[in-house]
Amino acid sequence: MAGIGQVKDEFNSADIDELVDAQNGLSGASTDGSVQLTGANTWVQVPDVVPTSDYVLVVSKENTAGTIRFSFDNGGIPSATNGNKFTTDNVIVELAASEVMYFGSTDAGDDVNYTTKIL
Which domains, from first to last, does the chain contain?
A: 7-118 (2.60.120)
pLDDT at 1: 47
CA pair distance 19, 4, nearest whole angstrom: 8
pLDDT at 81: 86
Note the pLDDT tens digit of each residue in 80-116. 888 999 998 899 999 999 999 999 999 999 999 999 9
CA end-to-end span of the chain: 18
Mean per-residue pLDDT, 29-36: 94
Note the pLDDT tens digit of each residue in 51-87. 999 999 999 999 899 999 999 999 899 988 889 999 9
